[in-house]
Chains A and B, each alone.
Chain A
Amino acid sequence: MSDTLSRTPLFALHVELGGRIVPFAGWEMPVQYTGIIEEHMAVRKTAGFFDVSHMGEARVRGRDAAKFLDGIMTNEMATIKVGMARYTVMCQPDGGCVDDLIVYRLAEEEFLICLNASNAPKDIAWMRAHIGAHQVEVLDECAAWAQLALQGPLAEKILALVTSTPLAPIKRFGFVLGEVAGAAGCIISRTGYTGSPGFEIYLPAASAEKVARALLAAGKPHGLVPAGLGARDSLRLEANYPLYGHEISERISPIQAGLGWTVKFAKSEFIGREALHRQAQGGPSSSVVLFSLDDRRIARQGAVVFSGETPVGEVLSGTQSPILGKPIGTALVAAGHAASGTLTVDIRGNRIPLLLATEPFVK
């Protein structure tokens, strides 16, 4: 790992927009512009613009591309239609997560995979190490692509102002290749990480600033604001989307994380299948729960969860939910306690009852 932090093609724009820059996953990224709550609410009510160019991309192509991916991913890859994307996890033999990813099928024998920023080099090395006899190549395209997210109920209306590409035909988790603000070769995808409708746009890094400025200018009259990583985190937590290193990690499997729907045991053999199957059959030793608190204090990562006087788990993520106006979070809780109505969390010496949620706080 290098000590120098990377910058996205939009770094200068973030500074110009008043973004507060912080180190994140090896990148210098804006955590907020005007304030996390305001940016969060803009995404829920109008629209927010995110630079997510720190995310990595790998292209996998070749005659055996689908078969190769099915051998390393938990979800089914061969059945993804061209023009569609699918969320999946890539697991270790013990079921721990190497990463969670979105796989875009560009053609029968060609896929683009979105990788978490901090995991990108590890992911690419992992994929290459498992090529074996497959007729496939894994290309590192992290530097070639910028990635923007336009999220919120007005995202489609705003994007339509700067693209000639028809957006209505793009289904949820579908994508098209098209032009945005005159920049050719963009992937426009109806995906997101906020729990609000919207798009993610993959575009050539050299076009990022031009497209970003066009989007921000077109969206401003409609309430579009630039939003930072702080709002991205509170938005994804309200929607109960996992964040690598928190709800999933090398020690927390997709079964534990409640992502069993991404693990397709019926398909062919894949890395981690046996361990994940054991967990799914016998129940994992611990699992991730979503909670809110009737309190003003936020339970943050590492806070200890108790059942009576017994420590039974720890908080994985915690923030203030702007929509609920109260703290929310996730915790990893030992088997047998995950459905308990009597869990508490220790916040600076205070025991606060965990109110377990069975559904995301936004849908």
Chain B
Amino acid sequence: MSNVPADLHYTKDHEWIKVAADGTAVIGITDHAQAALGDVTFVDLPKVGASFNHGDVFGTVESVKAASDLYSPISCEVLEANSGLNNSPDLVNREPYGGAWMIKVKVKNPAELASLLDAAGYAATL
């Protein structure tokens, strides 16, 4: 079954977000999402400085089978995009919670985190 780490927050759209104490966060897609997509061939990520509202499309993940939009779990500003995915998009399949993190962001409104799912809540949707 899918791996759902306990220390992350989740969206129903299969993104995860890990929030740090300094008000930054890292966003990626879940193990369930990568398994459903199959072999990932390309991840289209936003530029540093781009801003998104909760639920906005911030990028696209493309597999052999389909292209899927990536939805921002929270309102945020992009501090860094994972350039490692340019050369190794398959990291998404191998390390969805590690090397295949997608964007590092500044959280604009920490109160939005309360609307996200915890691990048990996300696991229940699968």
List chain A positions with a Cβ less than 8 A from chain B: 31-32, 35-38, 230, 234, 296-298, 300, 319-320, 348
Contact = CB atoms under 8 A, between A and B. Distances in A.
A297 to B, nearest CB: 6
Contacts of A37: 39, 64
B62 to A, nearest CB: 6
B82 to A, nearest CB: 15
B64 A297 contact: no
**Main DSSP-derived SS at the A contact region:** mixed
A297 B62 contact: yes
Nearest to A37: B39
A35 B67 contact: no
Interface of B: 38-39, 41-42, 44, 60, 62, 64-67, 89, 93
A348 B67 contact: yes
B16 to A, nearest CB: 22
B15 to A, nearest CB: 19
A297 B38 contact: no
Contacts of A38: 39
A36 B66 CA distance: 12
Contacts of A298: 41-42, 62, 64, 67
29 contacts: A31-B65, A32-B38, A35-B38, A35-B39, A36-B38, A36-B64, A36-B65, A37-B39, A37-B64, A230-B38, A230-B64, A230-B65, A234-B64, A296-B41, A296-B42, A296-B44, A296-B62, A297-B62, A297-B67, A298-B41, A298-B62, A298-B64, A300-B66, A300-B67, A319-B64, A320-B41, A320-B64, A348-B60, A348-B67
Contact of A297 (B44, B65, B66): B44
B39 A36 contact: yes
A297 B44 CA distance: 9
A348 B68 CA distance: 11
- Which of B41, B42, B67 counts the most A-chain CB atoms under 10 A from its CB? B41
B84 to A, nearest CB: 14
A296 B66 CA distance: 13
A234 B64 CA distance: 9
A319 B44 CA distance: 17
B39 A297 contact: no
Contacts of A234: 64
A32 B39 CA distance: 10
Nearest to A231: B64
A238 B3 CA distance: 35
Nearest to B66: A300
A31 B62 CA distance: 17
Which has the most chain A C-beta neighbours within 10 Å: B38, B39, B64, B66?
B64
